[in-house]
Structure 1
Amino acid sequence: MRHVGIFSLIALLFFACTDDEEMVSIDVKDSTEYLVTVNINWNPTDFPTSYPSNAHFSRLIGWSHDANQSFFKTGTFASNGIKTMAETGGTSPLEAELKELIEEGKGNNYFVGSNLSSGTGEIVLKVEVTEQHSSITLATMIAPSPDWYIAVVDINLMENNSFVDQKTVEAHVYDAGTDSGTTYASANDVTNPQMPIALFVDAPVGNGVQLHASIATVRFTKM
């Protein structure tokens, strides 16, 4: 009987330890929301060369994803969705592509914000990030233009294992590599073969080395 009691005690301790281990190993992925303020300053004073009378920006679109995701990165080729966004401002194909990437586990959510009816102003939206998908990419077409857009790419909102309270970054101008036009009003000129996505600092927005001025900043504020 004494042996039975000892074995029972050992079994009880074993299962108690097993339960504790299972509780500790639960994989909890914390999430948080950020208010994103995109401050755009594409104005005729800083960017005087052929500044269009109908300057505007398409609807802002982007997603939360794992850090170092290659989608949208310079040196990669624009997808059909990125091409459509960069050339026409349309977001539907890109939304479908982002949904697919999210279903593959590469992202948490995608976001579509408002457009901007002039060259200057703010676009504000909310985004959600998680520990696993802590980076944000956002883009909007410079309109009119051949295939140019402004974007922030792979901005990680987690530092030192915690979400930052606030982060402000410069947006850059990108060339999607799909249209060879050189002015805002250039006719469609398909780039064949397609070129990789690249930072764009040439005329009319820059001098070949850098932009004439900061074109936009993006502020992330934890809610």
Structure 2
Amino acid sequence: MRKFRSYFYLLIGLVFVSCNKSDGPIETGIESEASYRVTFTMHWNSTDFPTDYPSNAHFSPLIGWSHPTTSTFFNVGTTASAGIEDMAENGGTAILQAELEAKIVNNEGLDFVLGSGLGSGEGEITVEVLVNAANSSVTLVSMVAPSPDWYVAAFNVNLYNGSNFVDTKIVTAAVYDAGTDSGVTFASADANTDLKVPISLFVDAPLGDGTNLAADFATITFVKN
């Protein structure tokens, strides 16, 4: 009988330990994935950006993906890929789409996103994107058109705090120079750079003063579904 009670208490102890053992992501309050509605609001207008403002201002289709926070694709200081170059110079998406989808297949991203363009300098483009704990950042880009090789981007926006995804996040977009064309204003003729220079923030004329843009160029709002 004494031996039986010993086994019984041992069994109860094991059950107690098992019930109190942490299983990580399945704990209450821990999220492993989320989806977001993203609204890209463009503010490119002739009042805030009067220098050489083009009569045909518009934006190419919005393209991007969700990815790890450590991704270096599109990083300032890196050389533009063929897909980034085509997007920034021509508004093309096919080459960049192939590059991003290849990264996803290689476990370097989660969800590819392709949205509409915008036929004027002001307005909204809305897309949906899926993120998870391993791919919690989002990058979305669109060509500033017409332009030599400039594009507007929400770059590496992290939506995860280590346990939960934010309900809402609003960021101000930046404008980038792909480093593939030497034109200096919106209507410049094609002047392909012989040796590509690294991607950089674009704050020069006609959009800025060399230090800052003349005004906020675009605002991006992330709302969790």
What corresponds to 1:89 in structure 2? Answer: 91
Residues 122-141 of structure 1 deviation map (CA, whole Å, 9 limit, x = unaligned): 01111110111000000000
Q: Secondary structure at the match of 2:110?
A: strand
Instruction: Say whether residues 1:187 and 2:189 are aligned partners.
Output: yes
From 202, 205, 220, the equivalent of 2:204 is: 202
Aligned length: 213
What pairs with 1:95-134 in structure 2 (closer than 5 Å)? 95-134=97-136
Q: Which amino acid aligns with 2:204?
A: D
Shift in Å, 1:159: 1.3
How much does 1:45 deviate? 0.4
Structure 2 partner of 1:154: 156
Aligned positions of 1:10-49 closer than 5 A: 30-49=32-51
Spell out structure 1 runs of 4+ moving beyond 6 A: 23-29
Contact kept, 8 Å, 2:25 with 2:32, in 1: the verdict is: no
SS of alignment partner, residue 63 of structure 1: strand
How far does residue 30 in structure 1 lie from its aligned partner after superposition? 2.1
Q: Which amino acid aligns with 1:35?
A: R
Task: Name the CA distance, whole Å, in 2 between partners of 1:220 and 1:116.
Answer: 19
Match of 1:53 in 2: 55
Residues 97-118 of structure 1: CA distance to partner in whole angstroms, max 9, x if unpaired?
A: 0011111111001100010000
1:161 to partner: Cα distance: 1.9
Q: CA RMSD in A?
A: 2.3
5+ residue gaps, structure 2: 1-6
TM-score (norm 1): 0.88
How far did 1:26 drift? 9.1
Partner residue in 1 for 2:145? 143
Does residue 163 in structure 1 map to residue 174 in structure 2? no
C-alpha distance in 1, partners of 2:161/2:24? 23
Gaps of 5+ in 1: 1-8
